[in-house]
């Protein structure tokens, strides 16, 4: 099979490409050039180092290596989506949209026009014999959550060669193969932008818009620099000193019309912080859509366990979701991944603050 292996310059995608070569596939390595920090305002942007590392790995395993320029598509489909969301008072997820719109979107459009049959990545996810996307074997690294907004055609051509491995096993393989990325640290920044904190990225593109910080009764406690710099459930950097020792304010709501940031002391009964019911919009399915009411496993954020929830379609890409157990800080704009056991069914976007 002729496969384009997306190589980010990290160890996961390096081993993914190497394993495909070992399986006898016709593999070409590709670095997606999405962002080069040309404005020079965001600190270190390691794309040149990443390209060098990916090219070195490609040479080591004996495959062709190319750089695919997708900067225009990335700026339009991911950065535009990100900034529009924060302007509107929600908290979007750029990583999930990068997978759908760029890696398995724009890159796949480029690849299939050149005869490639699949796109391979270093995601910790698996494929079933029937082609469904499954959770990765390593519970500490499972990344299927970030694939929840993929479309059926994208799921069909996706390959995840490292999803059956534990992270230590993957690094052992990289060392045995002599890959230059074997001991390279994992990236902690925004997808393909680099070691950049979200708040710093937003400040470079969105102006401050100060407003009041209020409690749930409307009493003014302080001032914020902009609602886009805060998210529901946030405890650190709220901007209001805790009233008592070992108590902390937490963000429980954002009110864009009044430009108000609403906070409360966190506890078991904190108003607005926990809920069982929410509404999803922009539903996307990796296979057949769920067309009727049923109980699913719903994962409201990465690094959060999935919980049982009753899923009820509402039409027009929307659904009601009622969790069995109350969930903390279900955040408008964030992704909720939907599962049947280990099988990823798809996902949706939290539409509005849940009551």
pTM recorded for the entire structure: 0.92
Nearest partner of 14 among 119, 106, 121, judged by Cα: 121
Does 191 qualify as catalytic in the annotation? yes
- Predicted confidence at residue 189, as pLDDT, reads 55
Long-range pairs of 113-117 with CB within 8 A, sequence gap ≥ 24? 115/2, 116/2, 116/3, 116/4, 116/28, 117/1, 117/2, 117/3, 117/157
Nearest partner of 214 among 239, 197, 192, 236, judged by Cα: 239
- Predicted confidence at residue 125, as pLDDT, reads 98
CA distances to 290, 293, 306 from 314, rounded to whole Å, are 11, 10, 22
Domains of the chain: 2-122+161-199 (3.40.50.620), 207-265 (2.30.30.280), 274-350 (2.40.30.10)
Does 45 qualify as catalytic in the annotation? no
**What is the number of other CB atoms lying within 10 angstroms of the CB of residue 40?**
8
Question: From the CA atom positions of the chain, what is the Rg in Å?
Answer: 21
- Predicted confidence at residue 41, as pLDDT, reads 47
- Predicted confidence at residue 355, as pLDDT, reads 52
Residues forming beta bridges with residue 274, ordered by sequence position: 328
How do the pLDDT tens digits run along the chain, 355 residues long? 999 999 999 999 999 999 999 999 999 999 999 876 555 545 555 778 899 999 999 999 999 999 999 999 999 999 999 999 999 889 999 999 999 999 999 999 999 999 999 999 999 999 999 999 999 999 999 999 999 999 999 999 999 999 999 999 999 999 999 999 999 998 765 555 556 678 878 888 899 999 999 999 999 999 999 999 999 999 988 989 887 777 889 999 999 999 999 999 988 789 889 999 999 999 999 999 999 999 999 999 999 999 999 999 999 999 999 999 999 999 999 999 999 999 999 999 999 655 5
Strand order in the sheet with 220-224: 220-224, 211-214, 260-265, 249-255
Q: Report d(CA 213, CA 195) in Å as an integer.
A: 30
15 and 170 Cβ atoms separated by less than 8 Å: yes
Catalytic residue selected from 191, 278, 336, 354: 191
- pLDDT tens for 231-257 read 999 998 898 988 777 788 999 999 999
Catalytic residue selected from 98, 278, 336, 354: 98
**Torsion angle, CA of 349/7/54/178, rounded to 10 degrees?**
110
Q: Report d(CA 15, CA 179) in Å as an integer.
A: 8
309 and 298 Cβ atoms separated by less than 8 Å: yes
């Amino acid at each position: 099979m002729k496969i384009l292996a997306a190589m980010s310059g990290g160890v996961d995608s390096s081993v993914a490409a190497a394993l495909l070569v070992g399986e006898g596939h016709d593999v070409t390595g590709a670095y997606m050039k999405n962002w080069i920090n040309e404005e020079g305002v965001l600190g270190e942007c390691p794309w040149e180092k990443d390209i060098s590392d990916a090219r070195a790995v490609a040479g080591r395993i004996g495959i062709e290596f190319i750089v695919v320029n997708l900067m225009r598509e990335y700026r339009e489909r991911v950065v535009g989506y990100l900034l529009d969301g924060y302007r509107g008072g929600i908290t979007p997820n750029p990583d999930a949209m990068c997978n759908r719109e760029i890696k398995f979107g724009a890159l796949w459009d480029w690849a299939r026009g050149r005869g490639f049959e699949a796109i391979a990545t270093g995601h910790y996810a698996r494929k079933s014999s029937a082609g469904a996307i499954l959770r990765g074997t390593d519970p500490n690294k499972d990344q299927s959550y970030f694939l929840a907004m993929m479309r059926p055609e994208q799921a069909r051509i996706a390959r995840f060669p490292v999803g059956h491995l534990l992270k230590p096993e993957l690094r052992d393989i990289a060392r045995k193969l002599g890959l230059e990325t074997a001991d390279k640290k994992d990236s902690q920044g925004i997808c393909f932008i680099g070691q950049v904190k979200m708040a710093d990225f937003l400040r470079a593109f969105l102006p401050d818009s100060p407003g009041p910080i209020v409690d749930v009764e409307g009493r003014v406690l302080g001032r914020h620099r902009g609602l886009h710099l805060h998210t529901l459930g946030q405890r650190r950097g709220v901007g209001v000193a805790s009233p008592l020792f070992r108590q902390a304010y937490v963000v429980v709501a954002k009110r864009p019309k009044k430009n108000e940031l609403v906070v409360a002391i966190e506890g078991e009964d904190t108003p607005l912080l926990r809920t069982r019911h929410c509404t999803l919009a922009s539903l996307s399915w990796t296979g057949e859509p769920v067309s009727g009411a049923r109980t699913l496993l719903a994962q409201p954020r990465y690094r959060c366990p999935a919980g049982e929830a009753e899923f009820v379609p509402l039409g027009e890409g929307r659904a009601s979701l009622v969790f069995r157990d109350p969930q903390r800080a279900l955040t408008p704009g964030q992704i909720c991944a939907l599962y049947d056991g280990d099988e990823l069914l798809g996902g949706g976007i939290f539409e509005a603050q849940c009551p």
